[in-house]
Amino acid sequence: MKELAGSSGLVLNEPLLFERGKRGRFGMSMPRRDVEYFPVDEELAGSGPDFPDLGEVEVVRHYTRLSTWNFGVDTGMYPLGSCTMKYNPKINEKLAALPGFAGAHPFLPTELSQGVLKMMFDLERFLAEITGMDAVSLQPAAGAQGELTGMLIFHAYHRSRGRCRSKIIVPDTAHGTNPASAALCGLTPVKVCSNERGVLSVEAVASAMDEDTAGIMVTNPNTLGFFEENIRGIAEVVHDRGGLVYADGANMNAVLGIVKMGAIGIDVLHLNLHKTFSTPHGGGGPGAGPLCVGESLAPFLPVPRVVMDSGLFRLSSDFPLSIGQLHAFYGNVGIMIRAYCYILSLGSELKKVSQLAVLNANYVKEKLKGILHLAYDRACMHECVFSDKLQAPLNVSTLDMVKRLIDYGFHPPTIYFPLVVQGAIMIEPTESECKEELDLFVEAFGEIVKEAEKSPELLHNAPLRSKVRRLDETGAARNPRLTCAGVIERGKDTA
């Protein structure tokens, strides 16, 4: 096969921050002292934390070396299903760091913050146009907070109609944040199962939906990579019984310009700017999870909201039915700027993004079919789900195969999710990957499957080329070591 990206270059070791440094070093330029010392209340004063003192070069080396142990989208293909690890445009980083944005204080007077307010106002309108929803709040700091906001709106809506409801329908393919967010609002999740086509049936939802059920949370396209084709019928059943339909927009990357959620019966929808709209995941965050709603639910959106009168943008909290506020200020503005730049850069070409994301997923699905067992043999949207069924008799699991993928220079797909597929391997290539890269990925999987037959122990031991090998997670959980306390103590003893 063609030479793969995975190699074994020089990996440098790097100790803990606390094993470096020496008293008296400085890694930062201190401002000149131009005022005198004032007395400090002795009773309140402390000695300050015992941080190590490092020089600037030490700090730079430390973090540069650490960074080389990481794999990012810029390093290689990152086909993590339902996470949409697409390319993060560099220009967006540069523009979000403009001093006018990065240096802006959230309590600046209205007249002095028109630039950011206009950006937020426009971004809300863009997202409304893309989703077909009527009103948008950019405030939620992440998808899960968007879900929570949505559930708070469900709660407030039912309360405003005189009766709180106690249950919520959550399909078996849902992300764990769905039931966790609903539970925060006192809603008990009721599970419904997807059918043999990997989607929800109207009947299944109808049998679970009653007058005490607040509504349904549905991810569309779902985590199996299928469009919930019965969504209109489902929405009708839920609406008929007084409920609301929530859509988890984690997989919106499949349907930009293809489906408008507002037109298919969705009442509330959250987006993940860090998935669909290209903002970097940052090794865990920060992201942003804007919430989009239909007109009748707009009064419940969080405050403050951006409004415009006579050409002046301002923040307004004058919405008496609002559920309140979820963020210390107005949400992750730095992330909004990046998404705004992304949308402007693509404009109506966003539809092409979805077309190519779906093309890539179907291409990988066709090419890998036969090498791996395909859980549902039908056309997919942005991601496809395989399993380890063919390799299980060889005593090789999903985990073994994806760990070996690391040695070949690819980030593993999402595994063991969704729960409805045993040993699931969930692949989302995104539109960012070119055909050659996809071919290489498929080829790597082909090699791994051959290895599974010839030398399964190689897979059990994988990865072999990474900084560390498989780690003892049982030991980590039985005896949690969550800080460098031991190292610090040792340092003191020898000092």
Partner 1 sequence: MRNCYGYCQGNCIHRTSIGKGIKMKEISQLVIPEDVRYTRDHEWARVEGEIVRMGVTDYAQEQLGDIVFVEVPQMGRRYAKGEECGALESVKAVAEVYMPLGGQIAGINSTLEGSPGLVNSSPYTDGWIAEVKPSEISDMEGLMTHNEYIEMLKGSRQ
Partner 2 sequence: MRYLPHTEEDIADMLQVVGASHLEELFSSIPEDCRFRGDLKLAGPVTEWELNDMMAALAHNMAVAPEYKIFLGAGSYRHHIPATVSYLLGRSEFSTSYTPYQPEISQGTLQAIFEYQTLVSLLLGMDVANASLYDGASALAEALLMGARVTGRKKVALSSLIHPHYRIVVCTYLEPAGFEIIQIPYGLDGTTDLSGLREIEGLAAVAIQSPNFFGCMEDLSGAASCAHDAGALLVASFTEPLAFGLYKSPGVLGADICCGEGQSFGIPQSYGGPGLGMFACLKRYMRSMPGRLVGRTEDRDGKPGFVLTLATREQHIRREKATSNICTNSGLCAVTSAMYMASLGGGGLRELARLNYDKSEYLKGELRKAGFGIPFSAAGFNEFVVELPSGSEAVYRRLQDQKLVAGLPLGAFYSEMANRYLLCVTEIMSRQDMDELVSQLRAACNSLAGN
Of 118-137, which residues contact partner 2 (CB under 8 A)? Answer: 118-119, 122, 126, 129-130, 132
Distance CA 80, CA 95 (A): 27
Q: Under the criterion CB under 8 A, does residue 271 sit at the interface with partner 1?
A: no
Q: Is the dihedral of CA 242, 243, 245, 246 positive or negative?
A: positive
Site size toward partner 1 (CB under 8 A) is 24
Minimum distance, C-beta of residue 136 to partner 2, in the bound complex (Å): 14
Of the candidates 20, 416, 446, 484, which one interacts with partner 1 according to CB under 8 A?
Answer: 416
Minimum distance, C-beta of residue 393 to partner 2, in the bound complex (Å): 25
**392 binds, options partner 1, partner 2, none, Cβ within 5 to 8 A by partner type:** partner 1
438: Cβ contacts below 8 Å, ≥ 6 apart: 360, 363, 364, 367, 429
Q: Under the criterion CB under 8 A, does residue 256 sit at the interface with partner 2?
A: yes
Binding mask 5-44 for partner 2 (x = CB under 8 A): ---------x-xxx--x-xxxxxxxxx-xxxxxx-xx--x
Contact stretch for partner 1 (CB under 8 A) within 206-214, 255-263, 376-384, 411-419: 411-419
Q: Under the criterion CB under 8 A, does residue 230 sit at the interface with partner 1?
A: no
Instruction: Return the bridge partners of 211, or none.
Output: none
Of the candidates 410, 417, 441, 445, which one interacts with partner 1 according to CB under 8 A?
Answer: 417
Interaction with partner 1 in 170-209: which residues (CB under 8 A)? 176
3 state SS of 357: helix
219: left (phi over 0), alpha (psi -120 to 50) or beta: beta
Binding mask 191-220 for partner 2 (x = CB under 8 A): ------------------------------
Minimum distance, C-beta of residue 237 to partner 2, in the bound complex (Å): 16
Distance CA 457, CA 295 (A): 58
Q: What is the DSSP string of 254-320?
A: G-TTT--GGGTT-SEEE--TTTTT----TTT------EEE-GGGGGGS-SSEEEEETTEEEEE---T
Minimum distance, C-beta of residue 9 to partner 1, in the bound complex (Å): 24
Site size toward partner 2 (CB under 8 A) is 202
Nearer to partner 2 by Cβ, of 24 and 393: the residue is 24
Q: Residue 197: what residue type?
A: R
Of the candidates 4, 236, 239, 286, which one interacts with partner 2 according to CB under 8 A?
Answer: 286
Q: Which long-range contacts (CB under 8 A, 24 or more apart) does 252-255 make?
A: 252/131, 252/276, 253/84, 253/86, 253/353, 253/354, 253/357, 253/382, 253/430, 253/431, 254/221, 254/225, 254/227, 254/354, 254/357, 254/358, 254/381, 254/382, 255/221, 255/227, 255/354, 255/381
Minimum distance, C-beta of residue 118 to partner 2, in the bound complex (Å): 6
Q: What is the DSSP string of 216-253?
A: EEEESS-TTS---TTHHHHHHHHHHTT-EEEEEGGGGG
Minimum distance, C-beta of residue 214 to partner 1, in the bound complex (Å): 23
Interaction with partner 2 in 363-402: which residues (CB under 8 A)? 363, 366-367, 378-379, 381
Q: Under the criterion CB under 8 A, does residue 396 sit at the interface with partner 1?
A: yes
Of the candidates 79, 294, 302, 423, which one interacts with partner 2 according to CB under 8 A?
Answer: 302
Do 244 and 268 contact (CB within 8 A), yes or no?
yes
Nearer to partner 2 by Cβ, of 181 and 387: the residue is 181
Task: Provide the binding-site residues for partner 1, judged by CB under 8 A.
Answer: 80, 83, 176, 388, 392, 395-400, 414-419, 422-423, 470, 473-474, 477-478
